[in-house]
A and B are shown apart, each in its own frame.
Chain A
Amino acid sequence: MSEILRVVRLKKWFPVQKSFLERLLAKEKLYVRAVDCVDLSVSKGETLAIVGESGSGKTTLGRLILRLIDPTDGRIYLDGQDITNLKGEALRKLRRRMQIIYQDPYASLNPKMTIGDILRDPLKIHEIVSTEQEAREVVLNVLERIGLTPAEEFYSLYPRNLSGGQRQRVAIARAIILKPELIVADEPVSMIDVSLRASILNLMIELKKELNLTYVFITHDLAVAKYIADSIAVMYLGKIVEKAPTEKLFKASMHPYTQALLSAIPMPKPLHTKTRKLEIGGEIPNPINIPSGCRFHPRCPYAKEKCLKEEPQLIEVDRDHHIACWLVSK
């Protein structure tokens, strides 16, 4: 399969805002190292899940890929084209090819625009249609497709008239209406009621097949990732620590952090906790103070001397299975 997205040594360091006095007295600058040297490759038609806890940098990574923020370093390639430094008109036009679905269905829709307006806007911006009539038709079709029927009714409603689940469907519609190649979905079901998540996920899966989409699916929920993703990349403190096809990650994960995550997921089995494999303590440290060597070492039960001193690189240890850990690679 051809590669649609490639990310090379991508970095995003946010300078820490300091008071005037602190700036005067301090010698070195401090940074929040949100994304710290990430390599990724996503094939066309694939769903890659980026899994991590808050503080892992996954949301920032999503924003970087879509060029909603500028990288500090590294390169981003969309379908072979270097989009790292695109600006202005070129960047604006590029957006047709990559879209986003946000986590919060309440905040991501303009409260002063009707659903019809919200969905017509992308069409008008990129001049996909030439008449109002055409635009309306396209929007009505999309509304039908995503299950908001009767479409004519929803067309003139405002976001505040819709439930959270319905709003998220509108957000999905907005993302697909331009028929993009790549969609970054940032925790699209985290704020949706549990019983409705499956329908949103199933809709996304169907749309992917119909429109030949590629998803970068950001989530903290490994169970959701398992359901929707072809491969999973686990992020910790700005770096990818393990990447593997979904089945392999669940059956044969190698990184201690991945194993800890898998062990901590609540399972709908009574007394399940008694059979957990790996437990770790502590919390993700502040991304301003990244631990030396392997950034996971303070919480890792298997940490050795080398782990404190040198940072392991992400290397392929098995077919398509990448890991950054001194236990596995020498």
Chain B
Amino acid sequence: MNTFRPILTKLVPRIPLTTIGIAGLLMVLLVISMAIFADFLTPYDPTKSVGLSLQPPSLQYPFGTNKVGQDMWSRTVHGARTMLIVVALSTVISIVIGVPLGLISGYVGGLLDRVLTMVMDAIYAFPSLILAIAIAAALGPGIINTAISIAVVYVPTYFRMVRGQTLNVKSQLYVEAAVAIGAKQTSILLKYIFPNVIFVVIAVFTLSVADVVLTEAALSFFGLSVPAPTPDWGFDLRAGHPYLVSGYWWLVTFPGLMIIILAVGFTLLGESISEYLGLREVKV
């Protein structure tokens, strides 16, 4: 634990963000607050019919109602929760699988490395959406299954970046110095290599999380994500788009806008952070 605390405290505060980064941060924070305070912000249960069908936005229903009479405002706000849970879960799974494999593969090398790299390259070669769809279809609906489907797509990215940086760090003089003082292999991996590799994980996260958002939206658009009453932006897009032609614009606009805000927000924030990290760490 002693190794991790200084790393965390070092990374979290004091990352200077550009204006763009701050804009991105605000957008992301907006969505996060929606998810956290959903219950306080919405008067209605998003899964129940509470009003007449297809009502346009009004004082009572600020975002209108959908075909089955659910309040779109409540659905949109609660949708943030669903989205963020899936994003968080899939990121955690990707990291938990991809990072240790990348570390070990890079450090140990040899046959293990070659086999793992081949497997990861194979997964990476698949178009991400198609792969996610295939896995989601096979696993069936549900938040956890969705998270797994998405996670699998991003495991190779974490793996590659971590492996690459591990190879880089492995050849550094201070690693040989650790061998010279008699450190055990595990100690070298944990104390000398991992702390110098971890920033790469942050970089990968910031650059790919927007993509994860869009993948989740796409999966739920195809009905492969969470089951029916659970509020989900992609689901609402699908449910609402047949009515767009007839002029019922509020069914798709608000969920669509939220997807854009979250994805763009993550992108801007991610670019800003990774630019900062990239400039800093390259010199080390």
Contact = CB atoms under 8 A, between A and B. Distances in A.
Whether A and B touch (Cβ < 8 Å) is answered with yes
Contacts of A66: 180
A100 B177 CA distance: 8
Nearest to B181: A122
Contacts of B187: 125
B243 to A, nearest CB: 56
Given A112-B7, A121-B191, A100 B174 contact: no
A111 B177 contact: no
Residue from B180, B183, B191, B284 having most chain A Cβ neighbours under 10 A: B180
B238 to A, nearest CB: 47
Contacts of A109: 174, 177
A125 B174 contact: no
5 contacts: A92-B182, A102-B173, A121-B191, A125-B183, A174-B177
Contacts of B7: 112
A102 B177 contact: yes
A309 interface: no
Dominant SS at the B interface? helix
Contacts of B177: 100, 102, 108-110, 174
Given A102-B177, A107-B172, A108-B174, A95 B196 contact: no
Interface string B176-216: 11111111100100011001100000000000000000000
What is the size category of the interface that chain A forms with chain B? 20 to 34
Interface in A81-130: 92-96, 99-100, 102, 104, 107-114, 121-122, 125-126
Contacts of A126: 182
Interface of A: 66, 68, 92-96, 99-100, 102, 104, 107-114, 121-122, 125-126, 160, 174, 178
Contacts of A112: 6-7, 195-196
A111 B177 CA distance: 13
Nearest to B183: A125
Contacts of B191: 110, 113, 121
A94 B192 CA distance: 21
Nearest to A171: B177
Contact of B179 (A68, A104, A113, A174): A68
Contact of A95 (B182, B192, B284): B182
B18 to A, nearest CB: 24
A92 B179 CA distance: 8
Question: Lowest 5 CB-CB distances: which A-B pairs, in order?
Answer: A95-B182, A112-B195, A107-B173, A110-B174, A122-B181
A68 B181 CA distance: 11
A104 B182 CA distance: 20
A111 B181 contact: no
Residue from A102, A110, A113, A126 having most chain B Cβ neighbours under 10 A: A110
A95 B173 contact: no
Given A107-B173, A108-B173, A108-B174, A99 B180 contact: yes
